[in-house]
Amino acid sequence: MLKVKINDMTGGELISEDLKKQLADLASMAVEEEVGLEEVREVSLTFMDNESIQDLNVRYRDKDEPTDVLAFPMEGYLLGEIIVSLEQAGKQAEEFSHSLEREVGFLVVHGLLHLLGYEHREKSDRARMKEKEDKYLQEFEVFRR
């Protein structure tokens, strides 16, 4: 099983232990289907607020605004780090009329697919990535609500 190291920099008020386990299981399932667990053993998942993720977005992407998710790929044993703004996820969940859990699940899958090399700059790449996102969320029974 994939080891998912979870860092909650928000004080732990928004993400339950059950959701953390579900996200770890979701990430493990997706990595196993995409590349197998022989090659990848660990991924890091960090939750933070908009101010903190905006600092990273400025530093690494030269964009002075908060974002919902950042993905930093690494090589070898550690696939990389996925950073999710729970504040932004909450806003988006409300905007799309679904649960915070569903939005966070989507963002984790989205970030994980970036770590695995998927992009969405071109229309065909967007369609392929969306197909994968939908597949993993549906397989894990995380639906739009």
- Which of 58-62, 87-91, 98-102 comes out lowest in average pLDDT? 98-102
More confident residue, 65 or 98: 65
Is there a domain that residue 22 lies in? yes
Please give the full DSSP string across 65-114, using - where no structure is assigned: S--SEEEEE--TTEEEEEEEEHHHHHHHHHHHTS-HHHHHHHHHHHHHHH
Average pLDDT, the chain: 87
> Would you say how long the chain is, in residues?
145
The string of pLDDT tens digits covering residues 43-85 is 999 999 999 999 999 999 999 999 999 999 998 778 899 999 9
Query: How many domains does the chain contain in total?
Result: 1
The answer to whether residue 137 scores a pLDDT higher than 50 is yes
Closest among 99, 47, 96, 87 to 70, alpha carbons compared: 47
Is there a domain that residue 91 lies in? yes
Averaged pLDDT for residues 20-30: 87
Unique residue bearing structure tokens 């959701």: 19
For residue 92, what pLDDT band results from cuts at 50, 70 and 90?
A: very high
Averaged pLDDT for residues 100-107: 91
The 3-state DSSP class for residue 119 equals: coil
Is there a domain that residue 144 lies in? no
Is there a domain that residue 15 lies in? yes
Is there a domain that residue 145 lies in? no
Q: Residue 44: which domain range?
A: 3-139
Is there a domain that residue 14 lies in? yes
CATH number at residue 106: 3.40.390.30
The string of pLDDT tens digits covering residues 108-117 is 999 999 998 8
For residue 142, what pLDDT band results from cuts at 50, 70 and 90?
A: low
